[in-house]
Structure 1
């Protein structure tokens, strides 16, 4: 397999604006097929990929023998069902985050992945961005000494769009499944640490969380540190992650929507030394993700985010939800 033929299940806006374009532009990949009944939505994809094959339903795309891999950008509550169906159809699978809504579902995905010998993983694009790779390298090198504290903030305001799937409980909405996966998973990935104790405060509207503040004790290879995370769908846009160590701090700007929210940068501040800033203006994390996926299924090249990694983040989400302290209204 020299070129991976990709099929996309559903004409989601995110797929149209980001991932389908990344597949189309990636080396070793071909945007081959799309499943949608909506001709207008199909035309929007064909505008940049004229030869795109259109299937009228998801099952037809999965039955297409020329499709090698499937990208799934469906609403959260459909991720597990269609990941399982894609694996059963003999396809490699890249599914949007969160790939599941509870740990047991990811265990089922892992079991089918292993029995089929196919590759399935969560579309956790930030681990393919050089900003995060550089941050992890600096932490592993001990550039700021042992990490003592980390904090993450990710917020946006979508209150004006009540029909958005993120605002609906029946589609797996809420700030925690939507962006908590980034706030929690990124710090886990960069430090190798896992939560040993968690407390959270959560605000909800219409059955979905719109604000969550988390305080955790994390245990990693270099020891224990405290961690604070805030996610919200009702605050002005903000994105930042900070690691504070014995000898300084590392701060990441635009750590989750690099290039859209702002320029991806890594700042290292150490007492008595000049502030050090590294910038990554042209990095393409979605394209990098597609190319890494292709190298993995073609050559067995290492891939930085597994179903087991996604399971660890979901386990932390479960701890967050189980440890809630009510707000005093």
Structure 2
């Protein structure tokens, strides 16, 4: 196999706007098939991938012998089941985050991955962006000295009651949707896991969290994070050490929210700015996955890492429940 032939389960808006074009643009892969019963929903995909094969069911796509890997952008509560079905069908699988709603639900997917020898991962794209790889390298090189605190914030305003993010039955909520970013980013850079959730203030509407602020203790630093689906758009990650501060200005939607920059301010207030004006983390993610499939290359976001982020989310819910 010299090229990974991809299929997408469902014509989700996110797949149409971001991941479909990324799969099509990524080296060593091609978008070959889409599963949807709607010709109208298939048309925008065919506009950039004119030779796209359209199947009228998810099962038909999984039975297609020409498809090597499947991307799953379905509502959150369906992710585990279709990940398992894809692996059982002999397909590599990349599943939109969050892969599961509880950490323990990762275990069946991890076991199926290991049994099959196939690649399976959560689509946690930010770790494939060079801004995050740079941030991790700077931290490990001691650019900000001993770490004291980390803070993260991610918000947008989505009040559409019909949107899956606002529906409890589809696994909605701000923390499942975007908390994975501010929690996982701290884990990725520092390599640490939370020791304790110190506080969890959660506001809910219709059974889903729409604003959540937590504080947590990690082995060597204090953490504060807020996510919201009812605030003006904002995103930032800050790593504050004894010797400096490192800040990422567009950490999660690079070149959509703004230019990706890693800004390091030294203790004497001198700033060094690392800019990444052109990188597309969705394309980088697909290319990394293709390299894992074709070459056996190590993947920056294995399921075990994603399970750790979900374990932190589980700790948040447990703290909220008291």
TM-score w.r.t. the length of structure 2 is: 0.98
Q: Does 1:285 pair with 2:281?
A: yes
Partner of 2:183: 184
Give the match for residue 291 of structure 2.
295
Residue 325 of structure 1: CA displacement? 7.2
**In structure 1, the residue corresponding to 2:268 is in which secondary structure?**
coil
Per mean C-alpha deviation after superposition, the further-off stretch among 307-316 and 297-306 is 297-306
Residue in structure 1 matched with residue 72 of structure 2 by the alignment: 72
> Do residues 193 (structure 1) and 189 (structure 2) align?
no
> Which residue of structure 2 lines up, in the alignment, with residue 121 of structure 1?
121
- For the residues of structure 1 that align with 2:97 and 2:169, how far apart are their CA atoms? 16
Whether the 8 Å CA contact 1:202–1:325 is kept in 2: the answer is no
Q: Deviations over 1:77-106 (max 9, x none)?
A: 000010000000000000000000011110
* Residue number in structure 2 paired with 1:245: 241
User: 1: distance between equivalents of 2:60 and 2:86?
Assistant: 11
Partner of 1:276: 272
Does residue 40 (structure 1) correspond to residue 36 (structure 2)? The answer is no
Cα deviation digits, residues 210-232 of structure 1 (max 9, x gap): 0000100012xxxx100000000
Q: Secondary structure at the match of 1:24?
A: helix
- Aligned CA RMSD, in angstroms, stands at 0.9
Residue of structure 2 equivalent to 1:139: 139
Q: Which residue of 2 aligns with 1:109?
A: 109
Aligned equivalents of 2:35, 2:295: Cα separation in 1:
28
What is the rounded CA distance, in whole Å, between the counterparts of 1:272 and 1:88 in structure 2? 57
Structure 1 unmatched runs, 5+:
none
Three-state SS of the structure 2 residue aligned to 1:47 is helix
C-alpha deviation, 1:324, in angstroms: 1.5
Q: Which residue of 1 aligns with 2:169?
A: 170
Moved over 6 A (4+): none
Matches within 5 A, 1:21-36: 21-36=21-36
Q: For the residues of structure 1 that align with 2:127 and 2:233, how far apart are their CA atoms?
A: 22
DSSP 3-state at the match of 1:23 = helix
Q: Which runs of 5+ in 2 are unaligned?
A: none
Q: How does 1:180-329 map to 2 (within 5 A)?
A: 180-198=179-197, 199-219=199-219, 224-272=220-268, 274-324=270-320
Measured in 1, the distance between the counterparts of 2:18 and 2:87 equals: 24
The alpha carbon displacement at 1:253 in A equals: 0.5
1:150: which partner in 2? 150
Taking structure 1 as the reference length, what is the TM-score of the superposition? Answer: 0.96
3-state secondary structure, aligned to 2:218 = strand
